[in-house]
Amino acid sequence: MSACLSCSQLDIVVNTTTLVSQLNMSLTSGTITCVLGRNGTGKSLTLQTLAGLRPFQHGKLSLNDQPLQSLSHKYIAQHRAFVAQDFEEPFPVTALECAVSGRHPHINFWQWESADDYEVARTALHAVDLVETADRSIQTLSGGERRRLAIAVALTQSPSIFVLDEPINHLDPQHQRQVLNLFRHKADAGCAVIMSLHDPNIALQFADNVLLLFGDGCWQYGKVDILNSNSMTELYRTPMKDFVLADQRKWIGMQW
């Protein structure tokens, strides 16, 4: 498997606070990496930095073996899709019009979206169970529907790398599983996926690798089997214990 997105000695700094110090990791095609940590430990900032959306103070960041700083915004957008925690569309467009905006990195400045572009967008809406909302204004969509629409825009972008900040936030259990299965299939088809989550149980089920952020500069990156009672207790600063339910390993906090 080839490295699609990699960093070395990367620092994530806010004001004078180093949240992540000298991060070394490689996202390879065919894998899902889940980012876990408490609130405020730098999950979103790390994803934004890896996506090339904020500057970093030290280190190297590469996309397809090329320094990310040397690449054009168009090239980056053709290969990397980013889904932020919050999705806001300032214009009163339909869900389909919003979804097809994901094709813009693949369209020349003077061109309009083609019939093929709209077909890609409709396929993306279908993948997130929104095809029936295609002609509705996005202002009429619920929070969960808007979340899935943001994912549809990323799918329409047709990247090889997905950087997802809490992609299942606001979603009901059915659509959480639908979205997670969707990105599992994307990874199995050769994409690289990195996403932040709050639930380590989901990481156990869907991820190949995990990045643990402790908020003090320290981090741990590796296969999901690095999740154990010690690492989980340190990560969430509450006693964590694993158990087996229906042949699946689960984690639960021991102090409620």
Phi, psi of 219 (to 5 degrees): -155, 165
Query: pTM above 0.85?
Result: yes
135-166: pLDDT as tens digits: 999 999 999 999 999 999 999 999 999 999 99
What number is the average pLDDT over the span 215-229? Answer: 92
Cα gap 132→166, rounded to integer Å: 24
The answer to which of 18-32, 113-127, 182-196, 238-252 has the lowest mean pLDDT is 238-252
Would you say residue 246 has pLDDT above 60?
no
Q: Which of 60, 55, 48, 54 is nearest to 10 (CA)?
A: 60
- DSSP labels, 123-145: HHHHHTT-GGGTTSBGGGS-HHH
> What pLDDT is stored for residue 243 in this prediction?
59
Characterize the bridge pairing of strands 209-213 and 219-223: antiparallel
Would you say residue 55 has pLDDT above 60?
yes
8-33: pLDDT as tens digits: 999 999 988 999 999 999 999 999 99
Cα gap 62→201, rounded to integer Å: 30
Exposure on the CB side of residue 229, measured as CA atoms within 13 A:
5
